[in-house]
Amino acid sequence: MTELRQRVAHEPVAPPEDKESESEAKVDGETASDSESRAESAPLPVSADDTPEVLNRALSNLSSRWKNWWVRGILTLAMIAFFFIIIYLGPMVLMIIVMCVQIKCFHEIITIGYNVYHSYDLPWFRTLSWYFLLCVNYFFYGETVTDYFFTLVQREEPLRILSKYHRFISFTLYLIGFCMFVLSLVKKHYRLQFYMFGWTHVTLLIVVTQSHLVIHNLFEGMIWFIVPISCVICNDIMAYMFGFFFGRTPLIKLSPKKTWEGFIGGFFATVVFGLLLSYVMSGYRCFVCPVEYNNDTNSFTVDCEPSDLFRLQEYNIPGVIQSVIGWKTVRMYPFQIHSIALSTFASLIGPFGGFFASGFKRAFKIKDFANTIPGHGGIMDRFDCQYLMATFVNVYIASFIRGPNPSKLIQQFLTLRPDQQLHIFNTLRSHLIDKGMLTSTTEDE
Amino acid sequence: MTELRQRVAHEPVAPPEDKESESEAKVDGETASDSESRAESAPLPVSADDTPEVLNRALSNLSSRWKNWWVRGILTLAMIAFFFIIIYLGPMVLMIIVMCVQIKCFHEIITIGYNVYHSYDLPWFRTLSWYFLLCVNYFFYGETVTDYFFTLVQREEPLRILSKYHRFISFTLYLIGFCMFVLSLVKKHYRLQFYMFGWTHVTLLIVVTQSHLVIHNLFEGMIWFIVPISCVICNDIMAYMFGFFFGRTPLIKLSPKKTWEGFIGGFFATVVFGLLLSYVMSGYRCFVCPVEYNNDTNSFTVDCEPSDLFRLQEYNIPGVIQSVIGWKTVRMYPFQIHSIALSTFASLIGPFGGFFASGFKRAFKIKDFANTIPGHGGIMDRFDCQYLMATFVNVYIASFIRGPNPSKLIQQFLTLRPDQQLHIFNTLRSHLIDKGMLTSTTEDE
């Protein structure tokens, strides 16, 4: 997500000014023989120029600055178009895409670790990394299926057993990997193996755990999935644009091409964009209703009576703004007010995910996580800010939007013993009677 | 937990045979200048002999092998005595002890990282590590208080607000640390700083997350806290004893002093110990009843009608065993059968936590995590197997013992909107009527 990325097509792996300040350090393995330190000090394989030939020819007469600008622009439009298509295809496809993105990001990060240290021939490093990915995904997807497909799970006996012992099975699977790691420890590479163990687990924490929050946000309603992601993309583009045309003052050493002008311009543009997008989407049930699994049709249904968040309301405009724009009141969806919080986070804090990724790439002297998308780098380069955003949205919903999920409460109730169920029922009954929401006569109707 | 640990009082830091095979590797920092590589290659400060003077004098005429045997034995008895005292003092003290152990373990592991790389003067490394510890503890303890002290929390307005926005506050606190880390990145130490970031987060994952599961086990009933911990301690001692007297066949290269004889002997001894301890404790309500917070007395109460797990039952003995011991039936508590699973895990899988810790210590060429307990090393040396055990117990309870926590369900129900509460109430009512557990007439009594 480096903003004013003057990517000269054939630029060496690490920007020149980084080379002399970061003399190659020997690898932190116990017996770093000469051949190994040479493998470590040799720069990572330079990613060949990945711009499609047709684009190269079409833009051959432009300066490299503008050529890069066009390549990035065209690929950005292609990605946005792809985004619209998968939204149209609905929740199931979106979930599959989220899983693919997560696996690709994990692959990109693990490959960096592997490329840096493959000369050490660390036993089982990649096998164990993929195995841990499988275990963690099994655990999280299992929890999601148990939460959101409860009636389907209770209906099918094998699923019911897998769901009841889900945590035990997941923990056992993880333990197998943990024990295999302990057994794979080799005297001369202890420290390196522990670093790689930590590397895999932090990657699982950042990429896999947070990508499951994306899916949980999706179940709250597609709007909670689309608006945050769009705000991050919008901020990415707007900060790039504002920086490209007005950028003067460097923002942060980690990303020397980022400027304050881009940062601030991007912020205001994203807030306005968030307000407009929220206004448009709030009018469609398919975007605002929670995604639920319909047991009869065995498919997702997105139908409900929209909550107050998505009903137009009249708001009085504060005096100061009144004098500027002349309106006294304005009709808005309450969700639009929440969208300001989302777009502000996407603009001010989200980029720190990008700075973190930039720092990580500099630590390993690579330009991009991979070269999957011409002009943009790897998938992780595009999604580094999205993960932080997803966690924020999940926490925001849990804190400000909804309480516990009613259908989940009912599901858990149904798994209790009969005496526990009766105890809870009587407790609720006396609570509702106390609150005057229930009188014993209304119960009989 | 190295088993047949022949700790000569004044032995150098790393056992001799490790020295020549693990030539010092340069640190994986970007600009490892000579002074820094000397700092890294110099062995970590040798832990001064920490055996109390009075013990040294009393055991001065013994050989170092037996002297070490007595020092370890005496300190083990002291620790067991301490364990009994804190059990007597009740749940609140136990929770404080668990927190202290967790913080000390975290401190020991972070100090190792700091000692290895302090010459690099990594900005904010320790400050940020402690800050992240604070945030993660704030999050987990907040979740525990919200779960188990619900009525108290709902009664006090400040607590109610802190509880409602708990996840948002915790996430915000963490984000501040995350942004500070990004801002602390220094060009010449990127890679090392990311390693330390990973180091802190894996330590938080292993030590802090799992220690909160210890507290959750405690709330299920003190027996679920005491039996697992005792089984691990018993296995530690018995494996040491069996190895000390019968050890011949090395078990694993990581801990060359561990033997198959110790491993197997420890296993059978621990299973028998688990059965006996469970039998004794199952008879006491204070051990078997869930720990609950009493709002009236503002203290913990441990009183209940013991569940079926803790009621003596008659079991027929399988034919094979009948012929050996001559009994046809046996009266046991069902919990004793579960204790076999706990003691088996403590004996067969728990030690992998110890092997993991051994490998970690070898990776950084240290003998112990610290020298807090004479003859035993640091707190982490004593608790490396307990963390894995705590997670197993937590997963075991959730899978085989109880369903969702009824009081927690009621709590979540009370935070819902009135219309949602009525909807759930009516759903439960029709479910109970369907199941014949409720007829409309019984409701009016």
Binary contact (A437, B422; C-beta < 8 A): yes
Say yes or no: A418 contacts chain B, CB-CB below 8 A.
yes
Q: Residue B406 is nearest to which of A21, A420, A435, comparing CB atoms?
A: A420
CB proximity list for B390: less than 8 A, separation 6 or greater: B210, B211, B213, B214, B217, B228
User: Is B297 or A185 the better-scoring residue by pLDDT?
Assistant: A185
- The answer to whether residue A427 is domain-embedded is yes
Binary contact (A254, B182; C-beta < 8 A): yes
Binary contact (B395, A167; C-beta < 8 A): yes
- The answer to whether residue A26 is domain-embedded is no
The boundaries of the domain holding residue A413 are: 405-444
- pLDDT at position A35 is 33
- The answer to whether residue B422 is domain-embedded is yes
Q: In which element (H, E) is residue A197 found?
A: helix A190-203
Q: Residue A22 is nearest to which of B30, B359, B412, comparing CB atoms?
A: B30
Binary contact (B362, A187; C-beta < 8 A): yes
Binary contact (A167, B399; C-beta < 8 A): yes
Sign of CA dihedral A38, A39, A43, A49: positive
Q: Residue B188 is nearest to which of A22, A197, A356, comparing CB atoms?
A: A22
Task: Check if the beta carbon of residue B235 is closer than 8 Å to that of residue B270.
Answer: yes
- The answer to whether residue B319 is domain-embedded is no
For residue B175, the SS3 value is helix
Record the tokens describing residue A220, joined without a space.
């709250």
Say yes or no: A409 contacts chain B, CB-CB below 8 A.
yes
- pLDDT at position A312 is 92
Q: Which of residues 341-360 of A touch B (CB under 8 A)?
A: 349, 352, 355-356, 359-360
- The answer to whether residue B173 is domain-embedded is no
Helix %, strand %, coil % of chain A (to 5): 70, 5, 25
Running DSSP on this structure, what letter comes out for residue B282? T
- The answer to whether residue A188 is domain-embedded is no
Question: What is the residue-averaged pLDDT of chain B?
Answer: 81
Q: pTM here?
A: 0.80
> Which residue does chain A place closest to B416, by CA atoms?
A403
Say yes or no: A16 contacts chain B, CB-CB below 8 A.
no
Binary contact (B416, A410; C-beta < 8 A): no
Say yes or no: A19 contacts chain B, CB-CB below 8 A.
no
Domain count, chain A: 1
* pLDDT average per 10 residues of sequence, chain A (445 residues): 39 36 37 35 46 73 76 78 82 87 91 79 85 94 83 81 90 94 88 88 90 90 93 92 90 84 94 96 91 79 85 88 84 94 95 89 85 78 87 92 76 80 87 82 49
Q: Residue A191 is nearest to which of B356, B363, B403, comparing CB atoms?
A: B363
Q: What's the average model confidence in pLDDT over B313-319?
A: 87
- pLDDT at position B50 is 59
Say yes or no: A253 contacts chain B, CB-CB below 8 A.
yes
- The answer to whether residue A410 is domain-embedded is yes
Residues of A in contact with B138 (CB under 8 A): none
Binary contact (B182, A409; C-beta < 8 A): no
Which of A264-268, A436-440, B272-276, B356-360 has the weakest average pLDDT? A436-440
ipTM of the shown complex: 0.80
Ramachandran bin of B47, using left for φ above 0, alpha for ψ from -120 to 50, beta for the remaining angles: beta
Say yes or no: A439 contacts chain B, CB-CB below 8 A.
no
Q: CA torsion, points A267, A273, A278, A281, in degrees to nearest 10?
A: -150
Q: What are phi and psi of A314, to 5 degrees?
A: -90, 130
Binary contact (A403, B417; C-beta < 8 A): yes
Q: What's the average model confidence in pLDDT over B44-67?
A: 67
- The answer to whether residue A360 is domain-embedded is no
